[in-house]
Structure 1
Amino acid sequence: MADEQMSMDLGVPVEPSDWARWVNVDRRKAQAQKFLDRIGIQGIPDEFSWFGDVEKSANIALSEAFPGMELPTPETRSNLVDPFVCFLGEYLTKIAEAEWYDSPVDRERTIYENVNPALRCKGSADTTVTDLLQDILNHGKELDDRIFTSAMVISHELHLNSL
């Protein structure tokens, strides 16, 4: 039997890592659904969608989550930021073949404690959630503080790059 096939139950519970807890698919989907419920959408579409019918409510919700169009810190992060991040990741997973990973880059800038979520999208450079949110906020300022609209524009670019 190969070493990787051998296992021994020592009766010692193994705690999942912070990353394993954060990236857990059930947790991410539940958080994404919180965002969708807040803006009035049943589920994430299987392909690129503009979400025009909820764009206004989503922009209003995100203006509350990102007061002053500022990037949150782990201490100032509102209850809607993680659901929005999870929504973005799940959406990009579907439309741009994105994959989650815990980035070792710029960990001191992460909006989370102990993890630095990042997305690897087909055809685009990898980006940490912190950098993605900063890009969305910067672009949102150019769009009269419409954060969700900015996120959809950036998602569309990532979708096109993945084709």
Structure 2
Amino acid sequence: MNRPHYILLPVSPLFIAFSLTCAFMLNLLPWGQWIGVPDFVALVLVFWGIHQPRKVGIGVAFSMGLLMDVHEATLLGENALAYTLLSYLAIMIHRRVLWFPVMTQAIHVLPLLLFAQAVQLVVHLIGSGKFAGWLQFVESAVAIALWPVISSLLLAPQRRAVDRDHTRPI
């Protein structure tokens, strides 16, 4: 209860687009077949769904999901459905999650990411008839370990002062 609460500046829509583009580029790297590499687009969508639900909503999640479907050459709509549900759930809990410290936020985000992966697994199982395996859920644990880093990186531009004053402590 004694942790400081910073008054954040409004986030720039260009920065949101830049962060989503960077997350998409990280997903484009060829490490997608490795076990434990998180879905960076899902992680950034959850972050912005919690912190800026009016700017990054279900439409952005659906568009990013279609882009990921095309990139991964999966069934069209597999990632789009998972990202849309993920964004909806993040927007639903955004007021509650923001009251907690970063590590507790990560615990709240874990079921969302697990649910999105379960949706992808079920759609993939129905579409192809092949079970992808239980090891894909390790990605959510790695994503939760990255949550404090992602939070500090994406909130950093909002924490800077509008006018620089070297005598002000904030």
As a proportion of its length, which structure holds more helix? 2
Higher relative CO (Cα under 8 Å, sequence separation at least 6) belongs to 2
User: TM-score, length-normalised on structure 2?
Assistant: 0.29
As a proportion of its length, which structure holds more strand? 1
